[in-house]
Amino acid sequence: MELLTINNVWMMICTALVFFMHLGFAFLEIGLTRQKNTINILFKNIFIITIGLLLYCLVGFNLMYPGFAEGSSGFFSFAGFGITPPEGGMTAAYADGGYTWWTDFLFQGMFAATAATIVSGAVAERIKIVPFMIFVLVYVGIIYPWAGSWKWGGGFLDMRETPFYDFAGSTLVHSVGGWAALVAVWLLGARIGKFKDGKPMAIPGHNIPLATAGVLILWLGWFGFNGGSVLSADPELTSLTLVTTCLAAAAGGVASFLLSTAMYKNLDLTMYLNGILGGLVSITAGADQMSPTDAILIGSIGGAIIVLAVAFIDRIKLDDPVGAIAVHLICGIWGTLAVGIFGSLAGVDQLISQIVGILSYAIVCIVSSFIILFTLKKTVGIRVSEKEELEGLDGFEHGMDAYADFRMNEH
């Protein structure tokens, strides 16, 4: 009983850390975008957290962890609406004594909202808020937990002879959000003024110190994101996971700043920050399987990927104000592949299984997000008017300013 208490307290601390990550996401997004859209971005982030938890209670948890029957295909199952603890759910008989059933629900619920938060940053400054809210309802309520059941719920990707492996969500969380962000950015189009004569133009964020604080908060929150994914307070595995997580983050930041400096001849702080996040996303799939050296290599490659991916996304004229596609999708794919290349699971069979998992999630996320967003585009519309975009969404959508005493004209 004492061990269960210790494990459960650690898992609750990790739950709080993952919740705290939403403040990091909010700070990062508003810092890298313009002042006139601050309220709009904050409103979306608060909506995602609140509605995400409610949806996960009503349908998500039992859709993600349905308890696939023996002989099931492991593709779809649903254990019913609402949440009711099973017999023994508050004892060491549940989850090998790693945590109680209530803690399990809350920890997983914190993950659920993250996927939609990734999309929020990518579509910032030009999406209508009501269609975005409808998208969140469907994507967080149904698509994320259904796709999550394929691995974390014991579904078909976990049933393979060599199971697909994603420790804390490089694919299940980050790429699930990243694929939807890619589709949304493509359907929305670029912000006014982002591309001139085919060339990308910088649209600076209004508060880089706040963006920096956001990244540091996210790094701290990753202690819960990855550390909690051990699913107990196991001292050896938890400490290893935190070491690999931190080393990958540091390596990602350094690699990103070195490469961006070599390419653009300036010390770009925003690239440095996204490099840290790229390292964190890259290590997330295999943080418990890697040595410190592996983690540094994986994070370094993730940081370099950020610089190249941001340039590529600009080249194909996609407008992602916060770099969400580069960080969460492309580094999420890399991190998932890295499980088959580095660490204790490295091997051809594992790499093939990782590719199968990546493709499975790509298909369901691209198709589902396209159906949701394209339907909204053709019915209620998903993009604000030119006037609203130029003058800012805060006034038109919310009737208030984020900094009422420091109003500026931004166009």
Helix ranges restricted to H, 205-340? 208-227, 235-264, 269-284, 292-315, 324, 331-338
Is 210 within a domain?
yes
Position 408 confidence tier, pLDDT thresholds 50, 70, 90: low
Assign 402 to helix, strand or coil: coil
Average pLDDT estimate for 5-21: 97
At which residue do the structure tokens 């984020």 appear?
402
Encode pLDDT of 36-62 as tens digits.
999 999 999 999 999 999 999 999 999
At which residue do the structure tokens 């009983």 appear?
1
- Give, in degrees to the nearest 5, the angle at Cα 361 between 333 and 220: 50
Is 411 within a domain?
no
The amino acid occupying position 208 is I
Encode pLDDT of 306-359 as tens digits.
999 999 999 999 999 999 999 999 999 999 999 999 999 999 999 999 999 999
Is 408 within a domain?
no
**Is pLDDT above 60 for 410?**
no
Q: Is 192 exposed, middle or buried (0-12, 13-18, 19+ CB in 10 A)?
A: middle
- CB-CB contact of 241 with 227 (8 Å): yes
Of the candidates 306, 284, 304, 305, which has an alpha carbon nearest to the alpha carbon of residue 295? 284
Is 229 within a domain?
yes
Give the dihedral of Cα atoms 65, 71, 77, 82; nearest 10 deg. Answer: -50
pTM of whole model > 0.95?
yes
Average pLDDT estimate for 258-272: 97
Domain count for the chain: 1
**Structure tokens that stand for 270 in this block:** 């925003």
Position 116 confidence tier, pLDDT thresholds 50, 70, 90: confident
Q: Is the dihedral of CA 371, 374, 380, 383 positive or negative?
A: positive
Proportion of the chain above pLDDT 90, given as a percent: 96
**Is pLDDT above 90 for 113?**
no
- CB-CB contact of 185 with 123 (8 Å): yes
Q: Whole-number mean pLDDT of the chain?
A: 96
Half-sphere exposure of 343 (CA within 13 A, CB side): 28
The domain spanning residue 368 has which CATH number? Answer: 1.10.3430.10
Position 115 confidence tier, pLDDT thresholds 50, 70, 90: confident
Is 6 within a domain?
yes
- CB-CB contact of 401 with 39 (8 Å): yes
Encode pLDDT of 163-215 as tens digits.
999 999 999 999 999 999 999 999 999 999 999 998 999 999 999 999 999 99
CA distance 39 to 180: 23
**Is pLDDT above 60 for 71?**
yes
Encode pLDDT of 377-389 as tens digits.
999 999 999 999 9
Cβ-based neighbour number of residue 395 at 10 Å: 15
Position 406 confidence tier, pLDDT thresholds 50, 70, 90: low
Helix%, strand%, coil% for the chain, nearest 5: 70, 0, 30
- CB-CB contact of 89 with 13 (8 Å): no
Average pLDDT estimate for 62-80: 95
Q: Residue 114's pLDDT is what?
A: 86
CA distance 384 to 400: 17
Give the dihedral of Cα atoms 123, 127, 130, 131; nearest 10 deg. Answer: -80
Is 24 within a domain?
yes
Is 46 within a domain?
yes
Is 184 within a domain?
yes
Domain encompassing residue 18:
2-398
